[in-house]
Structure 1
Amino acid sequence: MNSAADLERFLHEQIPLTVAMGVQVAECDDTRLVLTAPLAPNRNHLQTAFGGSLHALATLSGYSLLWWLLREPHAHIVIRESTIRYKNPVRGDLRAVCHSPAAQELERFRRDFARKGKARISLDAVVEYDDEIAVRFSGVFVAINS
């Protein structure tokens, strides 16, 4: 994957839910990844973002950032565990931001993956709305060489 468009295409082809949610890769580089999705297909009965959509978008931001950073086409990436805290309702379009882990954590992850064929790493993400953090997410992701 060489661009945000490549990553978005990959997500839409491999994870059909991203199409239904309207997920777009808004930003993607080695420091952070930003995913967006419109409110309309992700709303609940209160006309705010559905909690499951918020969780999915936050999870996808970590998953996508790891794909981007690993750049290993034969890896299987899965989420092992996660926690999420819903702080405020999201009344508009969804925006999840996942920052790259510290350089030493990423280096350890890459080294373990190269040596053992598997590695795990913790990633944090937030969903922002109205210039505030609406959701905090932490997840442990595992990559396995297929």
Structure 2
Amino acid sequence: MTDVLTEQTEMVHAVVPILGQMGLEVLVAEPGRAAARIPTGPNVNHFGVAYAGSLFSVAEMLGGIIGGFFQVPGAIPIVKRLEIDFTRPAMTAATASTTLSEEEQARVQSEATETGKANFELLTEVVGEDGTVVARTHGFYQLRVMG
């Protein structure tokens, strides 16, 4: 893992400590792109597959990474709603990844700068190590100036 990704992972763990306990690792963190991975270890449920809440968490937190790249003083990303479809049991570590287009990034940046808030949506896939899509999410987030 690069120093930047190590720093991003440590920051996520500091802001949301449960993500550290889950063993979450940030794999991609750049404007418009984010990915994170959770290992099987602490995320296995009572019948040996990934716990649904862990799969939800690894997908949901990507909005915070994407939102953190906007240059709006005092703004933070918040989740408003997240819909999840569990498609297959996750038998291995799982990686969630998402993107936000350059056009949408520009719109969010402009709107949040002008009005103090801007909504954005993220579609995320959560994939097991064997390439199986285990979940898909549709997240509704807001970049909001606080204070």
Is TM > 0.5 for Structure 1 vs Structure 2? yes
**Who is 2:125 aligned against?**
126
Residues 85, 137 of structure 2: 8 Å contact kept: yes
Residues 72, 113 of structure 2: 8 Å contact kept: no
Q: For the residues of structure 2 that align with 1:74 and 1:91, how far apart are their CA atoms? A: 40
**Who is 2:92 aligned against?**
92
**Who is 1:8 aligned against?**
9
Which digits, 9 at most, give the CA deviation of each residue in 1:45-68, with x for residues without a partner?
11100001100110012222221x
Q: TM-score, normalised by structure 2?
A: 0.89
Query: Cα distance 1:98–1:111, how it changes in 2: closer, same or farther (>3 A)?
Result: same
Q: Secondary structure at the match of 2:27?
A: strand
Gaps of 5+ in 2: none
Q: For the residues of structure 1 that align with 2:138 and 2:16, how far apart are their CA atoms? A: 21
Q: Is 1:142 matched with 2:138?
A: no
Residues 62, 125 of structure 1: 8 Å contact kept: no
**Who is 2:25 aligned against?**
24
Q: For the residues of structure 1 that align with 2:91 and 2:113, how far apart are their CA atoms? A: 43
Q: For the residues of structure 1 that align with 2:48 and 2:78, how far apart are their CA atoms? A: 31
How far the C-alpha of 1:11 sits from its partner, in A, is 0.8
Give, as a single letter, the amino acid of the residue that structure 1 aligns with 2:59.
Answer: A
**Who is 2:114 aligned against?**
115
Q: Secondary structure at the match of 1:84?
A: strand
**Who is 1:54 aligned against?**
55
Which digits, 9 at most, give the CA deviation of each residue in 1:118-138, with x for residues without a partner?
111001111001112111001
C-alpha RMSD of matched pairs (Å): 1.7
Give, as a single letter, the amino acid of the residue that structure 1 aligns with 2:95.
Answer: R
Q: For the residues of structure 2 that align with 1:143 and 1:102, how far apart are their CA atoms? A: 16
Query: Cα distance 1:124–1:108, how it changes in 2: closer, same or farther (>3 A)?
Result: same
How far the C-alpha of 1:33 sits from its partner, in A, is 1.5
Q: For the residues of structure 2 that align with 1:92 and 1:17, how far apart are their CA atoms? A: 20
Residues 63, 77 of structure 2: 8 Å contact kept: no
Give, as a single letter, the amino acid of the residue that structure 2 aligns with 1:76.
Answer: I
Q: How many residues align?
A: 143
Q: For the residues of structure 1 that align with 2:97 and 2:21, how far apart are their CA atoms? A: 20
Q: For the residues of structure 2 that align with 1:70 and 1:24, how far apart are their CA atoms? A: 22
Q: TM-score, normalised by structure 1?
A: 0.89
How far the C-alpha of 1:3 sits from its partner, in A, is 2.6
